[in-house]
Structure 1
Amino acid sequence: MTNDKALKSSVLHSLKWVALGRATTQILRWILTFWVISILTPEDYGIVAIADILSSLLVTMASTIAISPLVQARTLDKAAISSYFGITLCIYFLLFCFQYLLAEPIATLYKTPYVAEVLKVSAWCFLLMAFETIPSALLRRAMAFKKLALIDAMSNIIAAISTLLFAIYGYGFWALVYGGIVAAAVRVTLLLYHHPAPCLPSFNVKHSLPLIRFGGSISVFTLLWYIFIHLDITIGGLLLSTTEIGIFTVALNIAVMPQRKILPLVKEISFPAFSQLQDEPAKISYFIVKAQRLGLLFTLPIFWGLAAVSDYILPIILGQKWEAAILPTMLILVLMPLRFSDELFQPAAKALGKVSYLITNTLIMIAIIALALFITADLGATGLAMAWLLGFPLIYIIVLIRYSRLFNFQLGTFLYSISKIVLSAALMVISVIATKQLLGTPSILNLLLLISVGGVSYLLALFVVERKTLKELKQAISTR
């Protein structure tokens, strides 16, 4: 049986270091990201977004196949590590070839010649990243997130500064490409320096067959999940101009920015933690529901608060040329708490080995969102955002029912447990909108005032209607 206090202490220690590492770089990265957006054009982002359809898919699949099986395995010896090291090297080399050969066909399909050049250049990253997988997986398995946080912080800061410098010196969309290459090179170098692989690669697959089987099922889920997440750009890229795609990409990047910073933090810690509890499903059920409630406590005010002030943030930070991104940003932000909640279930399902459950969920998601996108895509960037707003609530209802059966919790009880948090966030939004009616044109001072009103109104609402969850949060972060 797992020692609950020891696991809690390990999770909180890991969370502290991952959060600290992210926090120390986040403000700087946001400033630099917005600076880069103000320099580049919608077309620059459109070109990279189209190329990203393929390259991000391959990167995501490769890292998932290489890392997840090593983290999830109950036992792991040097022979299995060596064998799987050899397999991952082969996989990354094949992915390099695959992306390089598909560069021209993808560019032809989307009628954007620069896409081929971007894909060919970024393909070389696979030959670098092949050597980071074993050190990264073993550090995650040991929950050594302090070291990982420091490495990520250093690579992210250097990459963000590099991207900005390339943008300032007129490299256009290449600034985004070269920035990604710099990030990969720095991260691999630091990982190999601080935690080199404990053995040389071998190609005797019999020592890693269980890892290969789990990695295969994970790869199917990852492929489907990637298709789902990138359906908007994939379908929109065929029907809309690169400028419209660029506007939607910036809107999407701004809307999902908080999730991209918060959710990986939670998932990279919760997966190894749940893996330690895989023989105790009752505990997983308890902790996943608790994590959902505490997750919504933070994500609802962040996403809905940003939605309420997007018409102030974007003109102030990005300038008038990105005004068309305001409405798509708002629409996506409204549904982001549901996407966060859905993805928060996934580490527990993986830890239980229920990857087929995730595959079925993702197939349902793809069908619904694809239909919504074809219906609304002719409305441009706003239409792509509307597809998510219309389709994802239906998706969430379906998958939530399925998760309640998988994790054995009462759906009605779960919904009631989060209802007061949702009410508090709704009251916050109403307070912000009411305050906006009293203010003039967007300005930094007015934006700060709106943020203050939103924060105070949310905390007051929680204190009045949901003190229980606040006490639960205090208990959760207590190390005693």
Structure 2
Amino acid sequence: MSESTEFKGGAEAKESAAAFGDRVRSAVIWRSGSQILAQLVTWSVTLVVIRLLDPADYGLFAMTQVIMSFLAFLNGWGFASALVQSDSVDPFRIRQAFGLLLLLNGLLAGLQLAGAPLAAAYYGQPMVADLLRVQALIYLATPFIALPEVMMSRTLDFRRQALVNLVAALAGAGTALGCALAGLGVWTLVYAPIALFWTRAIGLTIVARLLVWPSFNFKGCGQIVGFGSAVLFSQLFWLVQTQSDVFIAGRRFEPHALGLYAEALFLAQIFMAKFVPPLNEVAFPAYSRIKDDPAAMRWSFLKTVRLLMLVAAPFYCGLAVTAAPMVETLFGAKWLGMVPYIQILSLALIFMTVQILFAPVNNALGRPLITMVSSLGGAILFPAGFLIGAEWGLIGIAWAWLVTAPLLLLLSARLTAPRLGLSLWQIARAMLPGLAPALVMAVGVGLADQELLAPLGLAAPIRLALLVALGALLYGALLWLLEREAISEVMRLVLRREASST
């Protein structure tokens, strides 16, 4: 590896605040923009695939995802992320990180192959074993994704990542469409991610020019292991929190019913799962650069919460009140059983979207233990809620999300706010410009649908279009009347203007 691949914190520190702000803005645009384009491609194909497959296929796939998620938290991504938080990185530490990634993911692939029959026996579904054996290929691609992605993220180089991710999205979408049209059923959901992961692995390795020889000499990598271990346990607790619902429900309910719930959860989580993580990927290295400036950290965090809620809150509230015509329009009548789950889960995920913003702040400050404790709280609250809620069926599990999500947000804010010099009220106030108008909008759209549109018996696409238009107009008007400063802040961000000092 050439000396040019060594990153020096001192040189980075000399960059002006304006230039750094421009790089962060560019990184956000490339990462989020590529994610939006990739999701447009993926969802265009997904809508076709959902109509071709059955809910039972998604139920079987959801069972495998629980197993894979609990193994994947050991894939070493947290160890590689330590390279982002470090002030400087030398080539040997990069080789050590690569060695860790190869070793861990090889072991995970072997564990999944060996444990596949046990998972199938737990669920009482023999097909699960076959699916898991093939899905083990995903682990082998992870080292060639994680290391290039982390090293490019360190320098806020998201443009090349974005191009590779778009190509990978096309590969995954093409594979999914071809398999679905060929009548491969549940295997469609297995082959498409494999195509996507391996396309990303090859593409990122090429554009980052980071095909290094791994080192299995782990002497002196204490910082990598220490930081990565805290992140690893945080991921474990997060997985317990987010996957225990399907794990609990998988033994109690049939694949068809579970498939409806799992797809409702997937749809409700799409903003939190697909669009917030890219922002956090930019936020972590950006926060790491300003970690010695408390005022800048506070300002940046509150601004992130405020701007994100301006988009997330109307999305979730709008999804809750348009669920019925949306599902019928996009997925077909056989998926209408998703609607009650979507309505409840959408409201719960408003709180979850803000909660996951705390992790990159704590990690950048070198306090991953705070993230771990917060995740531990979620790993206790959510499974307990799911176990209780399951007594009332899958709808009870959905209600458990709505009860526990605000509690977890409160816990995370209580742990993190003092480290940033913030109060809970300041964080709540940052949420209000987007949340308050969105809730009012949802009430207005819901009443209009119930009292005016539903009695007319309009076709689902027309009803959906009218509700979306009404919601957009109402939300925009409320922002203009109640939160005009929030609109000005967005305009300053888009037009790259400095806010006036106060």
Moved more, 167-176 or 391-400: 391-400
CA contact 2:80–2:97 (8 Å) conserved in 1: no
Q: CA deviation at 1:310?
A: 0.4
CA contact 1:372–1:388 (8 Å) conserved in 2: yes
Q: CA deviation at 1:402?
A: 2.3
CA contact 2:205–2:211 (8 Å) conserved in 1: no
Unaligned runs of at least 5 residues, structure 2:
1-12, 498-502
Q: Write the distance in 2 (CA, Å) between the matches of 1:417 and 1:71.
A: 28
Q: Write the distance in 2 (CA, Å) between the matches of 1:118 and 1:99.
A: 10
Closer, same or farther: CA 156–63 of 1 in aligned 2, 3 Å: farther
Picking from 448, 454, 478, the partner of 2:465 is: 448
Q: Given residue 339 of structure 2, which amino acid in structure 1 is its aligned partner?
A: I
**1:284-323 alpha-carbon deviations (Å, 9 max, x no partner):** 1221112111111110001111111001100122112111
Q: Partner of 1:168 in structure 2?
A: 181
Q: Given residue 149 of structure 1, which amino acid in structure 2 is its aligned partner?
A: A
**1:333-369 alpha-carbon deviations (Å, 9 max, x no partner):** 1121111000011111111121111111122222222
Q: Give the match's secondary structure for 1:75.
A: coil
Q: Once superposed, which parts of structure 1, at least 4 consecutive aligned residues long, lie more than 4 Å away?
A: none
- Answering whether residue 320 of structure 2 is matched by residue 303 of structure 1, we say no
CA contact 1:80–1:208 (8 Å) conserved in 2: yes
CA contact 1:79–1:207 (8 Å) conserved in 2: no
Picking from 270, 285, 306, the partner of 2:283 is: 270
Q: Write the distance in 2 (CA, Å) between the matches of 1:478 and 1:61.
A: 42
Picking from 210, 216, 221, the partner of 1:197 is: 210
1:249-398 matches, within 5 Å, as 249-398=262-411
**1:365-385 alpha-carbon deviations (Å, 9 max, x no partner):** 222222221112133332221
- Answering whether residue 482 of structure 2 is matched by residue 465 of structure 1, we say yes
Q: Write the distance in 1 (CA, Å) between the matches of 2:487 and 2:169.
A: 33
Q: Give the match's secondary structure for 1:270.
A: helix
Q: Partner of 2:444 in structure 1?
A: 431
Q: Write the distance in 1 (CA, Å) between the matches of 2:386 and 2:411.
A: 19
Q: Write the distance in 2 (CA, Å) between the matches of 1:264 and 1:420.
A: 22
1:2-401 matches, within 5 Å, as 3-62=16-75, 64-197=77-210, 199-401=212-414
Q: Write the distance in 1 (CA, Å) between the matches of 2:144 and 2:426.
A: 46
Q: Given residue 47 of structure 2, which amino acid in structure 1 is its aligned partner?
A: F
CA contact 2:264–2:341 (8 Å) conserved in 1: yes
Q: Write the distance in 1 (CA, Å) between the matches of 2:170 and 2:211.
A: 28
Q: CA deviation at 1:25?
A: 2.7
Q: Given residue 41 of structure 1, which amino acid in structure 2 is its aligned partner?
A: D
Q: Write the distance in 2 (CA, Å) between the matches of 1:123 and 1:413.
A: 45
Aligned residues: 480
Closer, same or farther: CA 395–131 of 1 in aligned 2, 3 Å: closer
CA contact 2:31–2:158 (8 Å) conserved in 1: yes
Closer, same or farther: CA 413–305 of 1 in aligned 2, 3 Å: same
CA contact 1:11–1:273 (8 Å) conserved in 2: yes
Closer, same or farther: CA 417–82 of 1 in aligned 2, 3 Å: closer
Q: CA deviation at 1:197?
A: 1.7
Q: Write the distance in 2 (CA, Å) between the matches of 1:318 and 1:46.
A: 16
Q: CA deviation at 1:163?
A: 0.9
Q: CA deviation at 1:258?
A: 2.0
Q: Write the distance in 1 (CA, Å) between the matches of 2:208 and 2:425.
A: 47
Q: Write the distance in 1 (CA, Å) between the matches of 2:345 and 2:237.
A: 21
CA contact 2:349–2:405 (8 Å) conserved in 1: no
Q: Give the match's secondary structure for 2:356.
A: helix
Moved more, 408-417 or 312-321: 408-417
Moved more, 219-228 or 360-369: 360-369
Q: CA deviation at 1:429?
A: 0.8
Unaligned runs of at least 5 residues, structure 1:
none
Moved more, 62-71 or 454-463: 62-71
Q: Give the match's secondary structure for 1:238.
A: coil
TM-score by length of 1: 0.96
Q: Partner of 1:477 in structure 2?
A: 494
Q: Give the match's secondary structure for 1:30.
A: helix
CA contact 1:248–1:384 (8 Å) conserved in 2: no
**1:39-71 alpha-carbon deviations (Å, 9 max, x no partner):** 111211111111111213333441523431121
Q: Given residue 141 of structure 1, which amino acid in structure 2 is its aligned partner?
A: R
CA contact 2:141–2:201 (8 Å) conserved in 1: yes
Q: Give the match's secondary structure for 2:290.
A: coil
Q: CA deviation at 1:420?
A: 4.1
Moved more, 462-471 or 365-374: 365-374
CA contact 2:148–2:204 (8 Å) conserved in 1: yes
CA contact 1:81–1:208 (8 Å) conserved in 2: no
Q: Write the distance in 1 (CA, Å) between the matches of 2:433 and 2:210.
A: 48
Moved more, 364-373 or 223-232: 364-373
Q: Given residue 360 of structure 1, which amino acid in structure 2 is its aligned partner?
A: V
CA contact 1:70–1:137 (8 Å) conserved in 2: yes
The percent identity for this pair of structures is 26
Moved more, 28-37 or 416-425: 416-425
Closer, same or farther: CA 162–448 of 1 in aligned 2, 3 Å: same
Q: Write the distance in 1 (CA, Å) between the matches of 2:203 and 2:395.
A: 41
Moved more, 210-219 or 388-397: 388-397
Q: Write the distance in 2 (CA, Å) between the matches of 1:124 and 1:434.
A: 49
Q: Give the match's secondary structure for 1:383.
A: helix
Q: Partner of 2:6 in structure 1?
A: none
Moved more, 175-184 or 26-35: 26-35
Q: Given residue 438 of structure 1, which amino acid in structure 2 is its aligned partner?
A: L
